[in-house]
A and B are shown apart, each in its own frame.
Chain A
């Protein structure tokens, strides 16, 4: 982008007074190149976003048959939040726990693939990506089989008395969190891998030459160098996981429903568009706020 932006400066100032038409064309060039992308963004992202914002302020007594009137009903927001704050809080809780689990699994995995796998590197990467070739739904349904009450996993856990004789995994918060962890893990691993792959092994050697313990080397060298991948990965994981509703619906019970399930039912079943829109906006703005705070604290302005 910066290269593009500097072209007109060079061409504009070297020849003493440039022909007006020519400099004008160069000045417009970056905008022209951006036009298709920007138009796409406006039409399919920004316009629907504003419409959604407007819908969240519709008169809540409207209906499909009578139509909706925009009455700036800001009350829709507190009303929606009062009714569904448990699901709201639950979304962030489950996504947060799943993120921690995914980090515990994903970081060593990405590190091993990037630094230790040698000629198996590509094969292992394919193994991480391969499940993504099947549909999200199919993967989640497969978890229903894995966690089934009569499956081997539950049987094993019952035998070692981690679960009571009537204990189960399906239809519990555990199943939902496991599903979230599994389904979004590749989004965390791939950016992490990209960062860790570029890690210069000589820096680690230098660190240990300077008498840093392996733990200290990790904390002072590896971790900071993998920060861009870590940040991108956590965001790519956390944002869709918070809004997810498939895992809660298929692996959970009503008591595990997340805010995505509520929004789904507001738009499709209850046909309460103002409330659905208000909840969508609340979710979006809360996630944005969380992300901003996170980026500030992680201290990487470049990601934005």
Chain B
């Protein structure tokens, strides 16, 4: 036994606690030597489907991406229709706010082949491509998706990351193009005008979404965003850098460009069609422009992750939303491009004006000018993203 008692001091406690924690954690980390590979295979991560006994479905989606009742915001007519038609209870959660953030939220479970508690999640093309590449997404049974087979827009079939059309089904699509506020500036028609016209200096924003901004720039150089080389990418990036360095581009944004464009703080921007339609309802001088060189077509896709235990229920829901009448009901509310053929005819009955809107139901000419960004492998993704982030400042 010690003869003298040593009083407990703050410093002693801190040193002791931190020291033991360091040992504990260091031991743990070193024993594991880093982090394990997140790659999964179909054989290695098998999911069980409990749809036969459990009539439930957990659906994660973006905010304001589902029709709501005009009188009661808590009612979702198209989803309620699904519940009463099939008896499958849907837990609908609006917890996707950002692809990267959502990836952070589910990556640990999916990397370890554990359940995320979600049966359907809606993610943008490139994030869908990444998850497919990592082997985190279950294959769908095409026999259970006759409506998708029949009604999916041709330009959204056999996309680079899902050549067989069995992993990702578009929920809504949209265009990334140019937009301007007619109260502040005259019409713009090309990407080059946006990047060089002197009267726009410091009043231009572009999207921090690499595929949208760089896709438009690649096309303005006459290259194809669905199939380009590293040198072509560098060319386009140099063009963007000139516009950043000259102060032409004010900032790079997510959705937050919309209020700035409405206020006139920015005169023109690279933006998304759905946002601009919304702004256009309030101020008709805010316009979306499809540049002559071409426009980017993106989709948010329904995906069934590994270990989702209600795949058959999920397939039923996907199939339901490809019924043209249901798709029109949804499109009347969300104003993005409806990926379902035949919905335009149904929309005539709901709202003829929306049915005639080429940003919701694009015509052949517009679709012919639209491109989907190339599927990147992990190495390319990091290389391009790093270069792009350096130009946009982070």
Q: Report whether A46 and B18 are in contact in the complex, using a CB–CB cutoff of 8 Å.
A: yes
Report yes or no: B394 in contact with A253, Cβ–Cβ below 8 A.
no
Is A293 on the interface with B (CB-CB < 8 A)? Answer: no
| A148 interface contact, C-beta 8 A | yes
Distance to closest chain A CB from B172 (angstroms): 23
Residues of A contacting B394 in the complex (Cβ-Cβ under 8 angstroms): 87, 254, 257, 261-262, 264-265, 269
Which of A5-13, A126-134, A155-163, A209-217 contacts the other chain?
Answer: A5-13
Residues of B within 8 A of A261 (CB): 393-394
Q: Is the CB of A41 within 8 A of B34?
A: no
Interface size class of A (residues with CB under 8 A): 35 or more
Cα A213 to Cα B38 in complex, Å, equals 70
- Chain B binder among A30-38, A95-103, A223-231, A234-242: A30-38
Query: What's the dominant secondary structure at chain B's contact region?
Result: helix
B38 and A149 contacting across the interface, CB-CB below 8 Å: no
Shortest beta-carbon distance, B65 to chain A, in Å?
21
Q: A9-B5, A46-B22, A70-B29 are known contacts. Are A64 and B134 too (CB-CB below 8 A)?
A: yes
Stretch at the interface among B52-60, B250-258, B366-374: B250-258
Taken residue by residue from 25 to 62, chain B's Cβ proximity to chain A (1 for < 8 Å, 0 otherwise) reads as: 11011100111111100000000000000000000000
> Are A50 and B250 also in contact (CB < 8 A) when A5-B7, A42-B20, A270-B386 are?
no
Known: A9-B5, A51-B29, A170-B265. A270 touches B382 (CB 8 A): yes
Check if B389 sits within 8 Å of A4, measured CB to CB. Answer: no
A12-B5, A58-B34 are contacts. A64–B393 as well, Cβ < 8 Å?
A: no
With A166-B202, A253-B393 in contact, is A1–B10 under 8 Å at CB?
A: yes
| B134 surroundings in chain A (CB, below 8 A) | 64-65
**Contact between A1 and B8, CB atoms less than 8 A apart:** yes
Q: Considering residues A12, A66, A254, which has the most beta carbons from chain B within 10 angstroms of its beta carbon? A: A254
Q: Can you list, as one digit per residue, whether each of A49-66 has a CB less than 8 Å from chain B (1) or not (0)?
A: 111001100110011111
Q: How far is the CB of B114 from chain A (nearest CB, A)?
A: 16
Cβ–Cβ < 8 Å partners of A264 in chain B: 394
By beta carbon, the residue of chain B nearest A86 is B393
Q: How far is the CA of A31 from the CA of B9 in the complex (A)?
A: 11
CB distance from A171 to the nearest CB of B (A): 5
17 example contacts (A-B, Cβ-Cβ < 8 A) are as follows: A2-B7, A9-B5, A46-B21, A46-B25, A51-B25, A55-B35, A64-B134, A66-B37, A68-B34, A70-B29, A70-B34, A148-B265, A149-B264, A166-B202, A253-B249, A269-B385, A270-B385
The interface of chain B, by Cβ under 8 A from chain A, is 1, 5, 7-10, 13, 17-18, 20-22, 24-26, 28-30, 33-39, 100-101, 103-104, 107, 111, 133-134, 202, 244, 249-252, 256, 259-260, 263-265, 378-379, 382, 385-386, 389-394
Known: A62-B34, A168-B202, A253-B251. 10 other contacts (CB 8 A): A30-B8, A47-B21, A50-B29, A67-B35, A149-B265, A150-B264, A253-B249, A254-B252, A257-B393, A269-B394
